[in-house]
Chains A and B, each alone.
Chain A
Amino acid sequence: MALLIRNARVFDPTEGLDDTLDILVVDGCIKELGRDLAVQQGECREIDATGLLVTPGLIDMHTHLREPGQEYKETIESGARAAAAGGFTSVACMANTRPVNDNASTTRYILEKAREACVHVLPVAALTVGLQGKALTEMGDLKAARAVALSDDGRGIADPQVMRHALEYARSFDLPVLCHCEDSSLSGGGVMHEGTVSALLGLGAITPVAEELFVQRDIALAEWVGHPVHIQHVSTAGSVRIIRDAKARGVRVTAETAPHYFTLTDEAVRGFDTNTKMNPPLRSAADIAVIKEALADGTIDVIASDHAPHSSLEKDVEFDHAAFGIIGLETMLPLTLALVREGVLSLTQVIEKFTRNPAAILGCACAGLRVGAVADFTIIDLGLLWTLDRTQLQSLSCNTPFLGHTFTGRAVYTVVGGIVVYAYQD
């Protein structure tokens, strides 16, 4: 069936496009871009997008889809629905499943499941076997099975020699390496940011240095080995300074942050809400200010959700015992659009951090808004006021501190391969 988007503000910074146009999609690809396009013969769905923004399909390069092994938290299918509801047409999923995605069979299993999913799923495989930080995974095999990148996300690789060899070996297969930077001997036992609030609450604290040491180390190793690194979930001002300096020296390093690191501070932990417990932890107001600067000046290339579903079994317990992480697919775009209204980022910067930049880091094609391209795109209502309600979440989990929060703006349609996989309903 053909699809005709009428009267949209078609916005693709890569194509230099920002114009009110119609988009005609036939056979999963963009067939025509223009004004007053004629309706095709045969069946054609028409969407009136007057006042709405159409962007290339959004990419979230950091999610946890929990399948295989923890399907009660999320499945590839439910995670994909959550992604679609958040405006994403592609998501990369981390390797800390059960079993760990550290072998080609598991990668193939994920991709097999992903065939039923409504968005593209890009498996990220482990750097080390079992995420144990000791033996390297079969990276060649993993690449052949179509893993897009490597990461031990969830744990820092403690031994620098292992990290060095992982980078060198990954370089042989030209696989991107995504770094979870955490010195667990320094952060161990901590459950929140080390600052005034942790001192007041008496909770075990995580110094920013635990992150910054490994950011510094992994960049130094990347520089030596000559293979790029991507720093995941940057949360501290110190990490930003290290990354900024490295970029200025010409080191091939990229970085991402997640919306909670520019939205919430450790003050949010005061009520012991376990949905404010994540790793890295919510930092200080001073860190947020520097993260915003880094987003604006390009030090941080990507915004990624770190979507980490957990059930009430892991979250409705004592703060010390609660699992780290929050879901984020369905709130990432709205939280980021707040930065546009605040004047921190331009819309162009937001879309680049959601599309072209993550695609470049993962070495994947980014479907642009041009004739002939695969019809992966997102239709956004920048002004829509809506309130996050547990019942409307597509994720199987609801561990988010933003329940009941009113947002401005969201994806209202998500189109993957010419199919409308999500349509917002009030």
Chain B
Amino acid sequence: MELNHKDLLGIEHLTAQEITLILDTAVSMKEVSAREIKKVPTLRGKTIISLFYEPSTRTRTSFEIAGKRLSADVVNISASSSSVVKGETLEDTGRNLQAMNPDLLIVRHACAGAPKRLADVLPTPVINAGDGAHEHPTQALLDAFTLRERLEKLSGLTVLIVGDILHSRVARSNILLLKKMGANVRVCGPRTMMPHNMELFGVEYVPRLVDAVRDVDVIMMLRIQKERQQGTRFPGEREYARFFGLNRSVLQHARDDVLIMHPGPVNRGVEISPDIMALPDSIILDQVTNGVAIRMALMYLFTGK
């Protein structure tokens, strides 16, 4: 089986079979990272450009390490050091990069749909590394990989996502992926942070966290994105932590073996209390490790052939 897409713009366009192919490919890629010599020649001679219009540490480093472990040449461009500040349009920047013959473009942008604009005008494959509040497909894939690794399946699981669903591209991609793979999704958070028609997503909304955590296999906490708040979404961090933050007393209502995830970066003491991050059920750092494997798999699948 092959992926029949030029680009990876979102989970929306993938089938369950394609998602499984990506996860399976990442299994062998993860093995590379465990070797003493963490490098294979698979993408030797390929050029990968990562174009980041938004700050990022984890995702960007993860892509860079993934590319290097596959022997690709990885070039990083951030908006602050590019022509963006000189007023160049997104498409013009893309065409200029295209003229240097890259094999893959990784794009992060604050505007939903921006990677699609580039994908539509450029022959080079584009991987969306997060566009506004739209999608973050590589995050959802690495989350799925991590869950499958721990629980050996995705189908039939119940996953709770807590936080600012409205502004979260991580939530959006995860909901789409988990539904496609046959998992049940529940969401929790203040009503001001929920899309108007949550039901139409096929997810269950549970307003109180202590109720929402009952009987779920996984709790995925989202970062409260202070930069996306406009002032009236919630009264403050203290109240948020009290009613929507994950701590030991909330966890008493959950199953003993519940897994705890967070896409990072974590606001310690806001959406998640520090003692929980250290629990064995917290797989937050596994997510980061697996991010490299998923991105290696995607680079291989989108340029390797």
Residues of A within 8 A of B (CB): 189, 194-196, 198-203, 205, 207, 271-272, 316-321
On chain A, the residues within 8 Å of B131 by CB distance are 202
- C-alpha gap A419/B167 in the complex (Å): 57
Given A195-B197, A196-B200, A201-B112, answer yes or no on A272-B117 (Cβ-Cβ < 8 Å). yes
Q: Which residue of A lies closest to B165 (CB)?
A: A199
Chain B interfacial residues counted at CB < 8 A: 28
On chain B, the residues within 8 Å of A201 by CB distance are 112-113, 134
Asked if A318 and B111 make an inter-chain contact with CB atoms under 8 angstroms apart, the answer reads yes
Asked if B200 and A203 make an inter-chain contact with CB atoms under 8 angstroms apart, the answer reads no
Instruction: Tell whether B39 is near chain A: CB-to-CB under 8 Å.
Output: no
- C-alpha gap A228/B103 in the complex (Å): 63
**Minimum CB–CB distance for A198 against chain B, Å:** 8
Asked if B132 and A320 make an inter-chain contact with CB atoms under 8 angstroms apart, the answer reads yes
Given A319-B112, A321-B111, answer yes or no on A202-B169 (Cβ-Cβ < 8 Å). yes
Residues of B within 8 A of A (CB): 12, 89-91, 109-114, 116-117, 131-135, 166-167, 169, 172, 195-198, 200-201, 230
Asked if B196 and A199 make an inter-chain contact with CB atoms under 8 angstroms apart, the answer reads yes
- C-alpha gap A196/B196 in the complex (Å): 8
Q: Which residue of A lies closest to B168 (CB)?
A: A202
On chain A, the residues within 8 Å of B230 by CB distance are 189
- C-alpha gap A272/B113 in the complex (Å): 6
Asked if A202 and B90 make an inter-chain contact with CB atoms under 8 angstroms apart, the answer reads no
**Minimum CB–CB distance for B132 against chain A, Å:** 5
- C-alpha gap A199/B133 in the complex (Å): 9
On chain B, the residues within 8 Å of A271 by CB distance are 116
On chain B, the residues within 8 Å of A318 by CB distance are 90, 109, 111, 113-114, 117
Q: Which residue of A lies closest to B114 (CB)?
A: A318
Given contacts A198-B195, A202-B134, 12 further A-B contacts (CB under 8 A): A195-B196, A196-B200, A199-B195, A199-B198, A200-B172, A202-B135, A202-B172, A203-B133, A207-B196, A272-B112, A318-B111, A320-B110
Q: Which residue of A lies closest to B195 (CB)?
A: A199
Q: Which residue of A lies closest to B172 (CB)?
A: A202
**Minimum CB–CB distance for A404 against chain B, Å:** 16
What are 16 residue pairs bridging A and B, where the CB atoms are less than 8 Å apart in the complex?
Answer: A195-B196, A196-B195, A196-B200, A199-B198, A200-B201, A202-B112, A202-B167, A203-B112, A272-B116, A316-B91, A317-B90, A318-B109, A318-B113, A319-B113, A320-B111, A320-B132
Asked if B89 and A316 make an inter-chain contact with CB atoms under 8 angstroms apart, the answer reads yes
CB < 8 Å: which of A189, A200, A203, A205 contacts B132?
A203
On chain A, the residues within 8 Å of B195 by CB distance are 196, 198-199
Asked if B197 and A199 make an inter-chain contact with CB atoms under 8 angstroms apart, the answer reads yes
On chain A, the residues within 8 Å of B91 by CB distance are 316
- C-alpha gap A200/B132 in the complex (Å): 12
**Minimum CB–CB distance for A334 against chain B, Å:** 28
On chain A, the residues within 8 Å of B201 by CB distance are 196, 199-200
**Minimum CB–CB distance for B99 against chain A, Å:** 19
**Minimum CB–CB distance for B168 against chain A, Å:** 8
On chain B, the residues within 8 Å of A316 by CB distance are 89, 91
On chain B, the residues within 8 Å of A203 by CB distance are 112-113, 132-134
**Minimum CB–CB distance for B286 against chain A, Å:** 26
Q: Which residue of A lies closest to B110 (CB)?
A: A320
**Minimum CB–CB distance for B77 against chain A, Å:** 17
Q: Which residue of B lies closest to A269 (CB)?
A: B113
On chain B, the residues within 8 Å of A196 by CB distance are 195, 197, 200-201
Given A189-B230, A199-B201, A272-B116, answer yes or no on A205-B196 (Cβ-Cβ < 8 Å). yes
On chain A, the residues within 8 Å of B114 by CB distance are 318
